[in-house]
């Protein structure tokens, strides 16, 4: 009898409490605006949700309009990590210049890495962002893919990841890209006009397929050795140029009739240093300002080639010019 009475009392109390909560919830929905109600619910969920010991870093593909160097480095670095047995999907690629097949992460897949006894988890995320509107009754929407990596680890390792692990990823990616680099040949192409009706041009690129190397070139052995040693010395002394306050550059003047190997020597130098080649025609440059802008648009560790410079530059005799000016005055 006592047990039945106690159970009945508990059930009545629970029913009364549930009814009261439903009444409170109904009144809250009517009296409290949606934004404030959502804010209160989120705070309550935060209070009753246990805190996670992991920290996740978001590494976006783009940083504003520029590419994120950390994302590019991670994309290269993660190709060297062993694939987990739990991985279900991978992206597979191979170009004509690559010697082996490249395997990369697919959307929502993850890879694990160990660095100085710290366990890290990489996840690849991809979403489609739709922009645009409708015009003339027809949809005119454009979708762009937004990609990022998520790097998760224990919170106590945050400083080690930022100060040591991420620099390690950047350095390892640079080394891999240097090993696998394909030399590019850049040439200028006309694009459009700016607001001042000034023609804007950009560099278009293609893989430089020239097979010439110092091993295959028919060149005097002593001359070949001298050029290679000079190139190596120039590359090693970058810090010396910086300390001396001078621009890190080296100039070569190649002359001779067509067919004597000038272009082959340039290709051999580019293949030896793994430097891209920029082919510039001075006939397309109309001002010092444009020349300066074009030179600044080239990348570091590259070779700038100006062909037939004696035919494209209007060389003037300074003595005759000075004499002409003095006669006018």
pLDDT in tens, 191-214: 544 555 555 566 777 888 888 999
Over 90: is that where the pLDDT of 178 sits?
A: no
pLDDT in tens, 277-315: 999 888 777 778 888 888 888 878 899 998 877 665 554
Which residues make Cβ contacts (< 8 Å) with residue 172, sequence separation at least 6?
73, 77, 80
Same domain, 223 and 195: yes
With respect to residue 34, please indicate whether it lies within any of the assigned structural domains. Answer: no
The rounded percent of the chain whose pLDDT value lies above 70 is 72
**Mean per-residue pLDDT for 58-73?**
88
Kindly list the distances between the CA atom of residue 67 and the CA atoms of 147, 165, 299, in Å, as whole numbers in the listed order: 12, 20, 15
The mean pLDDT value for 253-277 works out to 90
**Are 236 and 213 spatial neighbours (Cβ–Cβ below 8 Å)?**
no
**Which residue bears the tokens 């991978």?**
90
- 13: in domain: no
Q: Which of 137, 154, 180 is the last residue of a domain?
A: 180
Let me know if residue 236 belongs to a domain. yes
pLDDT for the residue numbered 223: 93
Residues 85, 194 within the same domain:
no
Average pLDDT, the chain: 78
- Closest C-alpha among 110, 173, 107, 111 to residue 145: 107
pLDDT top residue among 104 and 2:
104
Separation of CA 268 from chain center: 28
Q: Residue for token digits 């439903």?
A: 22
Phi, psi of 118 (to 5 degrees): -105, 125
Give domain status of residue 23, yes or no: no
Task: Classify residue 31: in a domain, yes or no.
Answer: no
In a domain, 28, yes or no: no
Taken in order 271, 272, 274, 277, the sign of the CA dihedral is negative
Q: Which domain holds residue 169?
A: 54-127+145-180
Q: What is the mean pLDDT of residues 236-250?
A: 89
What's residue 307's pLDDT?
82
pLDDT, residue 89, reads: 77
Q: How far apart are CA 329 and CA 327, in angstroms?
A: 6
Work out how many domains the chain is built from and give that number: 2
pLDDT band at residue 131 under the 50/70/90 scheme: low
When pLDDT is cut at 50, 70 and 90, the band that residue 238 belongs to is: confident
Question: Could you tell me the strand order of the sheet in which 110-115 lies?
Answer: 54-60, 138-154, 118-135, 110-115
Write out pLDDT tens, residues 16-33. 766 677 776 777 677 777
* Start-to-end CA span in the chain (Å): 130
- Pairing state of beta strands 90-93 and 276-280? unpaired
> CB atoms < 10 A from the CB of 191, how many?
10
Same domain as 305, residue 211: yes
Kindly state whether residues 115 and 230 are assigned to the same domain.
no
Same domain, 232 and 311: yes
Single out the residue of 103, 83, 79, 74 nearest to residue 169, CA to CA: 74
**C-alpha span between 257 and 259 (Å, rounded):** 6
Residues 188, 176 share a domain: no
Same domain, 165 and 109: yes
89-to-40, 92, 114, 126, 132 alpha-carbon distances in Å: 40, 10, 22, 14, 32
Same-domain check for residues 277 and 295: yes
Beta bridge partners of 55: 153
Q: Whole-model pTM?
A: 0.49
Asked if 93 and 156 sit in the same domain, the reply is yes
pLDDT at 320 over 60: no
**Does 106 fall in a domain?**
yes
Q: pLDDT higher for 123 or 19?
A: 123
The candidate with the shortest Cα–Cα distance to 58, out of 127, 124, 149, is 149
Q: What is the pLDDT of residue 323?
A: 53
Residue 266 lies in a domain: yes
Per residue in 38-49, pLDDT (tens digit) is 776 666 665 655
**Percent residues over pLDDT 90 in the chain:** 26
Lowest mean pLDDT segment, chosen from 51-55, 130-134, 282-286: 130-134
Q: Are residues 176 and 194 in the same domain?
A: no
Whether residue 167 sits in one domain with residue 104: yes
Query: Rounded to whole angstroms, how far apart are CA atoms 141 and 131?
Result: 6
Give the pLDDT of residue 137.
47
More confident of the two residues 235 and 143 = 235
What CA–CA distance (Å, rounded) separates 162 from 294? 36
Same domain, 248 and 162: no
pLDDT at 168 over 80: yes
């Amino acid at each position: 009898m006592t047990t039945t009475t106690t159970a009945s009392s508990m059930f009545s109390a629970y029913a009364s409490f549930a009814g009261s909560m439903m009444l409170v919830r109904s009144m809250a929905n009517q009296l409290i605006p949606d934004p404030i109600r959502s804010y209160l619910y989120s705070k309550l969920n935060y209070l009753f949700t246990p805190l996670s010991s992991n920290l996740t870093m978001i590494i976006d593909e783009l940083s504003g309009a520029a590419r994120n160097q950390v994302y590019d480095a991670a994309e290269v670095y993660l190709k060297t990590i062993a694939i987990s047995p739990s991985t279900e999907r991978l992206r597979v690629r191979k170009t004509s210049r690559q010697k082996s097949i490249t395997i990369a992460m697919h959307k929502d897949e993850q890879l694990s890495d160990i660095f100085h006894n710290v366990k890290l988890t990489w996840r690849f995320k991809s979403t489609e962002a739709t922009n645009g509107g409708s015009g003339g009754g027809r949809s005119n929407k454009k979708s762009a893919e937004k990609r990022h990596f998520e790097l998760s680890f224990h919170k106590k390792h945050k400083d080690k990841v930022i100060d040591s692990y991420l620099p390690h990823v950047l350095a390892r990616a640079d080394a891999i890209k240097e090993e696998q680099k394909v030399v590019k040949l850049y040439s200028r192409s006309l694009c459009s006009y700016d607001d001042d009706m000034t023609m804007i041009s950009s560099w278009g690129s293609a893989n430089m397929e020239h097979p010439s190397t110092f091993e295959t070139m028919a060149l005097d052995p002593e001359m070949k050795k001298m050029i290679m040693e000079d190139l190596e010395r120039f590359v090693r002394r970058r810090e010396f140029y910086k300390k001396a306050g001078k621009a890190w550059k080296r100039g070569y003047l190649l002359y001779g009739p067509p067919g004597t190997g000038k272009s082959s020597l340039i290709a051999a130098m580019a293949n030896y240093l793994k430097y891209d080649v920029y082919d510039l025609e001075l006939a397309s440059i109309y001002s010092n300002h444009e020349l300066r802008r074009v030179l600044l648009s080239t990348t570091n560790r590259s070779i700038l080639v100006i062909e037939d410079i004696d035919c494209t530059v209007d060389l003037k005799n300074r003595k005759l010019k000075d004499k002409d000016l003095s006669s006018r005055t």
